[in-house]
Every structure is written in structure tokens, then in C-alpha cells.
Structure 1
């Protein structure tokens, strides 16, 4: 993971007078061109490192070797931690890298760095695919958390656009889709009103600005516990319609991964053809049929009849849409 490598490269630099791309490549077990690109990426991100040319040259931190990351500004520490916190899932290597960066950050910045680490959650997928532009909005939310600031949002909700002011408390993802858990500030104090805690989809945030100071994350607020509670609530809404299906042996794991918490492998013996029985859920019958349509070569819906009917009707619409031959004049030359 590149974010992990950048942190490791920075920690190596702060402990040595200088390092060459070849030495860094050996330490990180990557190619020399990859190591060189990582060093250049650190420099372009504003980290105070510079190359020296010629025999005996290499890369150095401005001011020489350090025992901590005192050569970095608060913005630079925040930017590095945001990139790392947004990357991949909660793998042990990423968690270790976050801890190293927080502990190595200069003391005045350590508290804000810890806030970002505590308030960012990477979670299992719900199957949505996000726009790459979400990363910048997520970064702005993480900066607000680090600085104990409210945010002013232009939000395109299901009931139309609105202006929202809130204290961001948790930034998390399910797969590629990002969400923010936040609450409006109590008048005057800036304290988050936890009775009005809500979940917002980051891809629906059309504009974001840092607002007035807040009291930050309330004492005793557990980001991961609140995130888990939100996930359970949403999963409950998503699973109001369930279907029982038989699944070919080779597709069981892939299907269960795709449906996540909405799939449950029943504790029954495989049928005569080796197929397993699984229940899957969604928030509506038509939505469940659309999700299952792509698995028709690997599954058979046993019940309920409503889902079977929805699948048949979906197939009829697809067949009707593609029943006529394509106009030859529209074919590419």
C-alpha cells in the first residue's frame, strides 16, 4: 500500500543523514523506480526533503536527521495521516502505520492527529462505487475534526438540497462509499447535539466550508461503537425483503461477499446437485431482483414468489428491449 510506504520512507529519512533511492528500495522491498517516485511524491506533498546530486548524493530532510517529525508542519502531518486513514481496509499494517505517524508527530500536532485516527472508520462493502472526488471532501471533513471546527454543507438529500451546519464526529466508509456521522452544534456552546446525530452520504455533499469552532468530539463518544450502531440500523432497513436461494458451490463465497451482512448461509446440507441454501435481503422486492439478476447462472430463487415474479418481469423487459436487431446505420464503421 503506497500510503504505508510513504510513512515508512519518512520515518527512515528522519533517522538518517540521507538515504538513496536504492537504499530505500531495499528497505521497503520495492523497485528503485518505485522508491524514487515515493521520494518525489513526499517532496511534492510539501514534506521538507530535498535531493543532493552526484557521488555521495541522496535524499535528506531539511535540517538533517531528527528523532521525531519536527520538520513537518501541522498541515503536512494532517495531509499524510488523511491519506493513510483513507487507504484500503483496516489491515494490521495500515493500523501500525497510523500509530507510528501519530506517535512520531510533533507534540503540538499529536492531539489533532489522534482525532483523525480515532474518527476515521474503514468498513466492509455495501457494493456501492464512489466518485474519486469524494476523497477531497473526506479530507476536508477530517481536517475539521482535527481542528475542532464545525462544517457548513450544501447537501443534496432525498428531500432536495439544503444547507446544513454540523459537528463532524465520524468519517467512515462501506467499501468505496463514504459517510459522515455528525450532529448540529448546540447554540452558543458549539457542543454537538448527540440527540440529533445523523448520517450523511459524502457523495451528496455539493459544497463544504469550515465553520465556527466547536467543542469537538464529546467526552466518552465512541466513534467505532456509533458507527457499528449506524451500520446495524441501515442494514435493518436494507433487509426488509428476503429471498431464499440455492447457490452453485463455486459461487457461494462470491455471492455472500457481495451481499455482505444481507447474506446468510443456512445450516443445511447441500442438495443433490451440491448447491447450498442462502438467504439474501434488500430494502425492496424490485431492488433485490435487480441484484440477483446478475447471478442467474449460479442461483435459483426458491421463495418468495414475489421475488421470482420480479425477476421474470425484469427478464421480460430486458428481452423486449433487445429483441429488435440494431440498425445497421448505427453500427460503427
Structure 2
């Protein structure tokens, strides 16, 4: 064999060998169709949930802003299938980094939603148990930051054909991504069982949103398991590890668990009422605070209304921040005289 042919064959081999992260060059038409459908489904669902969140969020409630930010960060990773420019791997990895931030933020939102069950004096849990849960939850969640950063770096190296470490870490991603919000779901199930006894179906009949919430939790866990199996079984894996619709469907239902009820779970249960042990275990429903309104007639055709927004309705306590004083916002109503 001539030296030039040997050198040429080696160059072709190296070029093929270093092409492991370019999934577009290895994907079939069916893989493109499936990936495009799943990304379009994810982006559409998250955009609708973002609009619903904006339409229902209240001023000053930090939890609502965190949920909206979680959705917006995740949306960006549903567009890489439609990009094919030079340096495309950097774009894919950058949006994947935002997706990991969304996963971490989802666990923070999950903690904010169950926090009242573990910090308030009237709680289902013993003070010592609640203290241990708070410390373990927040400490272990903080410990997931280094693995996430490491996997973000692996994303950049893999999809730019530099390193295959991503393939080895990808099956373990659910371990530093999902246990916290699953614990949140189990804590919610425990509270519902204690407060409503065996009448969970009565709770769903009373508030269908809880039925949607429970269904979304179960479906998200199912699709997360399917994504894990797809990364471990070569026959199901596909052209590139992680290019599958399962994690996208899991993400949709995971975000739906935050979006279907924007407030924390204790507030939602108190508003719902009807449980046999509800008031004994988590307290009575919050009494509505009528907002003071004063009307002053300044002229025959002009009425000035002063509306006071109650600062206690704002979720400042979970960050141990003193709430601001009540805000008075005047606005005018003009009417035509007959």
C-alpha cells in the first residue's frame, strides 16, 4: 500500500472517530422527525405554561417569578434540532447549560412549595424531624452544583467532539436532578393522606387541579425512568445518548406540577378545605383580608379611588426578608355627567 493511501485512510478514520458528538451527521430521517416533534412539543407546552403563569402571577410573589424563570430557561433547549450552522455544538451545549439551571431551579421551587409544612409551628411533623429535613434537603441540593457544572462542561466537550465522558455520566443525571422534587411529591402525598384520610378521590372531585397535579407527577416519574433506561440499553439509546423524547416529556409534566398550582401546597390545601383533619393538622384556611378602599369625590365628574395592597400576601417569609409596608396606589375614574 502506498504511503499516501495509508495516511489518507488514517485521516478518514480519525475524522470518523472524532465525530461522536455530531448527532446530525449520524441521525436517520426518522430520528430527525422524532426529535423535531419532541422539541416542538416541549417548546409549545412550556410557552403555554409561561403565558398562564404570567396571567396568574401576583405582584411581589417571588415564587411565581421563580416558576416563570424556570420555564423560560428550559424553553431554550428545544431549538437545537433546527440549527445547522458552524459551531452548532456550542449552541446546543449553551442551551443545555440553561436547562441544567432550570432543573436546579425546579428543586428550589419544590422546596418553597413544601417549606410551610416544615417551618411553621402548626405542622404535621415534629420540630426535630422538620429541622433535619430542612438541613438535609438544602445541603444535599447545594452539593449537586459541582456535578451539574461538571456535566455542563462534559456537554461542551462531547457535542464538540472533544471527549466522551458525557456518555458515562449521562445515566447518572437523574441522581442529582430528581430526588428532591420526588421527595416533595411524597411529602405532599403524606400530608393529603393525613388531612383527608382515604378521601383522596373526594379531594380530586372537589378540586380537579389536584387530580391533574397527581397525574403530572406520576407521568413525569414514568418518563424519567424511560429516559434512564434509554441511556442504559444500547438497543433503545438511539444515535446519540440523550437525543430522545423521554426527557422532554418528563420535563413538560415536571414543569406542569409547578404551573398547575402557583402557590405553596399548604396555602392551596387551606383554600380548598373539606378535609377531616385539615384544620387540626395544618390550620384553618386563611381568612380573606378585605382591602381598604376609600372614595373621594373631588369634582362632579371625577372620582379618586385609593386602593391599598396588603403586603402580608407576599411570599417574603421563605427568604427571611422583612415584608415591605403596605403600598397605596391611587387611581382615577372619570365619568361623563348626563
TM-score if structure 1 supplies the norm length? Answer: 0.30
Larger strand share, 1 or 2: 1
* TM-score, scaled relative to structure 2: 0.29
Instruction: Point out the structure with the larger helix share.
Output: 2
